[in-house]
């Protein structure tokens, strides 16, 4: 069994702020990651993005060691709300085979567009799924762990949120998260 609360150290060269570049089939956006105010959540995300954190692939049931997010779909998109990703099965129920505790910081709120936050199924059920807000969503404060904010390419969130969807907010034409690159500015 994988301990979701154990996270590998973040070993990214440089001294600048930690960033994540999301390369999608519709364009690219860059987020600053709040490694000092949400250290466990950021370490989990970075570990999965780089393939340095152990996980179970929900499609195969077998241990995985490659970058978790590369090639998966934005499986839920809602205009004026958010876009969601992080489930390799694209069903909204898949995850990495572990859960970890919520991490809330009084300064990290869902105050506007571009907030990067963990999706969950209730308290302390974080795994791999995350969402990015298109606008303020204060009702999510202290329910979803904020761990970053998009600082470049914010307009891409609205473009993804407005692709045609089925009756369950799943894009009819797949929007692919091709890769996540972690770096320091």
Domain assignment present for 4:
no
Query: What pLDDT score does 168 carry?
Result: 96
Per residue in 156-166, pLDDT (tens digit) is 999 999 999 99
Domain assignment present for 31:
yes
Selected catalytic residue, list 84, 110, 149, 177: 84
Query: What pLDDT score does 3 carry?
Result: 86
Query: What pLDDT score does 39 carry?
Result: 97
CB atoms inside a 10 Å sphere around CB 123: 9
- Per the structure, the count of domains in the chain is 1
Domain that holds residue 72: 18-184
Output 13-17 pairs: Cβ under 8 A, ≥24 positions apart: 13/184, 14/183, 14/184, 14/185, 15/184, 16/184, 16/185, 17/184, 17/185
Q: How confident is the model at residue 185 (pLDDT cuts 50, 70, 90)?
A: very high
Domain assignment present for 2:
no
Which has the closest alpha carbon to 147: 38, 50, 43, 69?
Answer: 38
Query: What pLDDT score does 2 carry?
Result: 82
130 in active site: no
Q: How confident is the model at residue 60 (pLDDT cuts 50, 70, 90)?
A: very high
110 in active site: no
149 in active site: no
Residue-averaged pLDDT of the chain: 97
Domain assignment present for 119:
yes
144 in active site: yes
Domain assignment present for 11:
no
Q: Residue 106: which CATH number? A: 2.40.100.10
Per residue in 131-141, pLDDT (tens digit) is 999 999 999 99
Per residue in 29-48, pLDDT (tens digit) is 999 999 999 999 999 999 99
Exposure letters 132-143 (e unless 16+ CB within 10 A, then b): bbbbebeebeee
21 in active site: no
């Amino acid at each position: 069994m994988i301990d979701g609360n154990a996270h590998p150290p973040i070993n990214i060269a440089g001294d600048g702020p930690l960033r994540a570049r999301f390369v999608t089939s519709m364009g690219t956006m860059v987020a600053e990651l709040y490694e000092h105010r949400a250290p466990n959540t950021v370490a989990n995300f970075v570990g999965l993005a780089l393939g340095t954190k152990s996980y179970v692939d929900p499609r195969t049931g077998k241990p995985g060691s490659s970058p978790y997010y590369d090639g998966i779909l934005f499986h839920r998109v809602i205009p004026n709300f958010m876009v969601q990703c992080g489930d390799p099965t694209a069903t909204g129920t898949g995850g990495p085979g572990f859960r970890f505790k919520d991490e809330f910081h009084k300064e990290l709120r869902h105050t506007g567009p571009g907030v990067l936050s963990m999706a969950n199924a209730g308290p302390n059920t974080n795994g791999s799924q995350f969402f990015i807000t298109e606008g303020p969503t204060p009702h999510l404060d202290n329910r979803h762990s904020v761990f970053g904010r998009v600082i470049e390419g914010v307009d891409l969130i609205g473009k993804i949120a407005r692709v045609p969807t089925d009756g369950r907010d799943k894009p009819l034409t797949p929007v692919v998260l091709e890769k996540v690159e972690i770096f320091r500015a």
